[in-house]
Chain A
């Protein structure tokens, strides 16, 4: 095509209009066609994350986990029954990191005070730094930690511990170079559990009462 015509206003407008229409149609079409598969993947991802928080990655979700809502605020809660019959209470967590949302699942033991396991994920944290929260290296040390100190709720600190975190039941090591994300995780756990723990306490008390009242 000759150069003069290519620089005319009419040609430029038409070209832009056609390009926009074609790409928009293409993207809309692809998005529609692929949506069911993407939704299924996302759902499976959530289920695996819940299973990871109780150290059962790759197992059948329906066999172990029951979805329910609890308390007057209808808070979502996942109850996991392990093979030995013991119950774990999995709390969904939502918070914010440096660039976007953080989320995760924390499984509590039946005493409602100690952590059985946890799993975290993020949308857009920095690769190699904040993004490490989704790794097992980060989430594994949460197992066995306590949310209480001298019967007072103190949650779990996610800070630089200089190797002392192993001896401290209320702290885990943060991520070097990912301080804001680490703090995001810390705030997320404290804020969510502050809401959940009173509700969970009531449920657990009812459970123990049931047991003691049985003949």
Chain B
């Protein structure tokens, strides 16, 4: 097993900026840092375990219905986790409730299963899933920090910008409300795509 299986998805072939997978949810949950962290964790676990299970099944899946089989495994896994959390960790499940639908439809999961898990052994597949989830999470966190900080002056709900800087208190500063709206997510993600690709373009496309 290669070290690259783990490290590449984090830096070189990061799902959002390089593979262009999972962009939709990156725009939806990055208004604040907290939901971004929850989403990153949930997606990491689901990609990891669904790649593991499908890699174990890879020699039995009929080719013509493989996408449906993948979808069923992922959906079952997410619903199971949601049900267990609802019974034993109610608070966390309330946090996750809105994300469940977004996790199942996240293209990173299906994309990595199709591209990696069906062709590789279970352990590397599991690691590929975890690493892609983390690579996705890193981008999510950066975008969320930028948006929450500039849009609301807070991080994880705690005020970061001093109260007396604000115009309302006689200061010079005002939050930029544009950052909490979707277009700004697109622009921040776009900047990250630029940075990642400017740094890695050669190494990725030459391989």
| Chain A residues at the B interface, C-beta cutoff of 8 Å | 1, 6-7, 11-12, 15-16, 19-20, 23, 26-27, 30-31, 34, 37-38, 41, 44-45, 123-129, 131, 163, 176-177
Among the stretches B5-13, B76-84, B111-119, the one at the interface with A is B76-84
Is the pair A177, B31 in contact by a Cβ cutoff of 8 Å? yes
Contacts of A30 in B (CB 8 A): 80, 83-84
Closest to B32 in A: A128
Is the pair B83, A34 in contact by a Cβ cutoff of 8 Å? yes
Determine the main DSSP class of A at the interface with B: helix
Is the pair A127, B35 in contact by a Cβ cutoff of 8 Å? yes
Bound complex: CA A44 to CA B91 (Å): 12
Total number of B residues with any Cβ neighbor in A under 8 Å: 35
Closest to A100 in B: B98
Closest to A135 in B: B157
Contacts of A19 in B (CB 8 A): 69, 72
Closest to B77 in A: A23
Determine the main DSSP class of B at the interface with A: helix
Is the pair A15, B61 in contact by a Cβ cutoff of 8 Å? yes
Query: Scoring B residues 79 to 93 as 1 if CB is less than 8 Å from chain A, else 0, what string do you get?
Result: 110011011101000
When A and B form their complex, what is the total count of cross-chain residue pairs whose Cβ atoms lie within 8 Å?
85
Bound complex: CA A38 to CA B168 (Å): 45
Top 3 A-B residue pairs of the complex, sorted by shortest distance between their CB atoms:
A128-B31, A127-B35, A128-B32
Closest to B60 in A: A1
Known interface pairs A38-B86, A127-B98. Does A27 touch B60 (Cβ–Cβ under 8 Å)?
A: no
Please pick, from B59, B79, B84, the residue contacting A1 in the complex, using a CB distance under 8 A.
B59
Q: A6, A30, A163, A177: which has the most chain B beta carbons within 10 Å?
A: A177
Could you name 14 residue pairs across A and B whose Cβ atoms are closer than 8 Å? Answer: A7-B64, A15-B60, A20-B72, A23-B72, A26-B80, A38-B83, A38-B86, A41-B86, A44-B90, A126-B28, A126-B31, A127-B31, A128-B32, A128-B34
Is the pair B99, A38 in contact by a Cβ cutoff of 8 Å? no
Is the pair B180, A127 in contact by a Cβ cutoff of 8 Å? no
Closest to A12 in B: B62
Contacts of B206 in A (CB 8 A): none
Nearest-neighbour CB distance to chain A for B142, whole angstroms, equals: 16
Bound complex: CA A45 to CA B60 (Å): 44
B65 on interface, CB distance cutoff 8 Å: yes
B177 on interface, CB distance cutoff 8 Å: yes
Contacts of A6 in B (CB 8 A): 60-63
